[in-house]
Structure 1
Amino acid sequence: MTDTHRLALRRELGTFLRAHRERVAPADVGLPATPRRRTPGLRREEVAALSGVGVAWYTWLEQGRVDTSREVLDAVSRTLRLDPDAHHHVLRLAGLAPPERAEDPTAARPLLDTWPDRAAVLLDGALSMTAWNTAYTGLWPDPAAIPPARRNLLLLLATDPDHQRRLPDWEPLAMDLYRHTRTHADTRPQDPAFRTLTTALATERPDLEAWWSCRSVGAFTSRTAHFTPAGPHTVSMLHTPDAPGSAILLFSRRVG
């Protein structure tokens, strides 16, 4: 890892901790709320005291100026009420969790054709569509008819009327995908694919700025999506060891 990349990860870690600090109410950690409190959420000195670290050290941590230990990050994560996904994300940003191997976007393609009756699409870490099966083009607009630069599922859900007509309640799926891809984006701050995606989302859907500025992360969990006219489908995400970072999104028709 280069010094530039390490510094970029430190900054991402600091930004992530600050965003979550501002979301914790004093009452959540047993502190009284005072009428003159101007800081949203907790103050830095409060997080430091509750985590058993010095104020200066915690300040430097948020500013991306220092590396720190697993013990400190475990304590800070408990103070900030981070869930397991967010806690693991913090450790990855600090270099204290195993890094992902490089993606091989072609490795999982043969799997798609093993589901002739289920729509399946192969997504890279930034949610660009790299392959899809025939059933996918019956449920969604055909990616082959979309310019390659715009073949990104999250971007299409947020901006394309045809995708939104097929899935009128598209927002929950989009938010789950966004939280999923943030876990990759924060650990690759210099990856142009993520910068391109976030720039496009901010430019084309500025009304959803609260979404794109959110620092939430989380593993994608199965959900039900109601398509028009295809009806309800279970949406699942599958990961394969041959293509770490990439994922298959599988849509299974629900019967009954």
Structure 2
Amino acid sequence: MARARGGSPARRNLLLALTGEPWRLQRSAPGRDFVGGLFGRFRAGYDRAPHDGRAAEIVALLTEERPSLTGQWRCRAVGEPAPCVVETDGGGRRPRTVACALLRPDGTDGTAVLTVSGAAPSPPVPWDG
């Protein structure tokens, strides 16, 4: 898994970043599914190295920092995230609509590229006020 900048290696985890400010992808069904798929891919990787303590450290940190997703962090399923379009809540800034996908350019488990790009925003909801 790629890591965001700053802090200890466990704190630089992509799942922690995508479920925190300003992304909070778990706030929508497509975002929750995408985060769950990313975690499934992470789990598939660390299940091959059960004695590597780094994975357990990351899962413990995810559980501590994002307790609302504890059920997801305890899930034993493995898999791949399906591409999705999700609106972030903006973390105090303007919400953004982004398209997320995990690509495997060489078709193996060893290489993955996460893409997050701007997408067309959802149509505005009419206001009758």
User: TM-score w.r.t. structure 1 length?
Assistant: 0.38
What is the total number of aligned residue pairs between the two structures? 114
Q: In the alignment, which residue of structure 2 is the partner of 1:248?
A: 113
1:174 maps to: 35
Q: Over aligned residues, Cα RMSD in angstroms?
A: 2.9
Candidates 78, 102, 110, aligned match of 1:217:
78
Partner of 2:96: 231
Query: Structure 1's 225 and 249: CA in aligned 2 closer, same or farther, altered over 3 A?
Result: same
Shift, 1:207, TM fit: 4.4
Could you tell me which amino acid in structure 1 is paired with residue 23 of structure 2? H
Equivalent pair of 1:167/1:226 in contact (CA under 8 Å)? no
Q: Equivalent pairs: percent with the same residue? A: 24
Q: When you count helix as a share of all residues, which structure comes out higher?
A: 1
Once residues 226 and 147 of structure 1 are traced to their aligned partners in structure 2, the CA distance between those partners, rounded to angstroms, is 27
Matched, 1:147 2:13: no
TM-score by length of 2: 0.67
> Which residue number in structure 2 is paired with residue 189 of structure 1?
50
Could you report, residue by residue, the CA deviation over 1:79-130 in whole angstroms, capped at 9, with x for unpaired residues? xxxxxxxxxxxxxxxxxxxxxxxxxxxxxxxxxxxxxxxxxxxxxxxx342x
Structure 1 segments unaligned to the other structure (5+ residues): 1-126, 130-142
1:255 CA drift (Å): 3.7
Q: Does structure 2 conserve the Cα–Cα contact (< 8 Å) formed by 1:239 and 1:248?
A: yes
Cα distance in structure 2, aligned partners of 1:238 and 1:198: 23
Q: Does 1:161 align with 2:21?
A: yes
- TM-superposed CA distance for 1:250, in Å, is 0.7
Equivalents in 1 of 2:41, 2:107: separation in Å? 19
Instruction: Classify the secondary structure of the residue corresponding to 1:234.
Output: strand
Cα distance between partner residues in 2 of 1:206 and 1:197: 13
The reply to whether residue 199 of structure 1 matches residue 60 of structure 2 is yes
Match of 1:189, SS state, is coil
Structure having greater relative contact order (Cα 8 Å, sep ≥ 6): 2
Separation in structure 2 between the aligned mates of residue 213 and residue 183 of structure 1, nearest angstrom: 13
Deviation at 1:154, TM superposition (A): 0.7
Q: Gaps (5+ residues) in structure 2? A: 122-129
Question: 1:172: Cα distance to partner?
Answer: 3.1
Per-residue deviation, residues 46-102 of structure 1 (Å, max 9, x unmatched): xxxxxxxxxxxxxxxxxxxxxxxxxxxxxxxxxxxxxxxxxxxxxxxxxxxxxxxxx
Distance 1:171 1:251 in 2: 15
CA distance in 1, matches of 2:67, 2:87: 26
Contact kept, 8 Å, 2:33 with 2:81, in 1: the verdict is no
Instruction: Give the alignment of 1:29-178 within 5 angstroms.
Output: 127-129=1-3, 143-144=4-5, 146-149=6-9, 150-158=11-19, 160-164=20-24, 168-169=27-28, 170-178=31-39
Q: CA deviation at 1:152?
A: 0.9
- SS of corresponding position for 1:163: coil
1:251 deviates by 1.8
Aligned to 1:218, the other structure's residue is in SS state coil
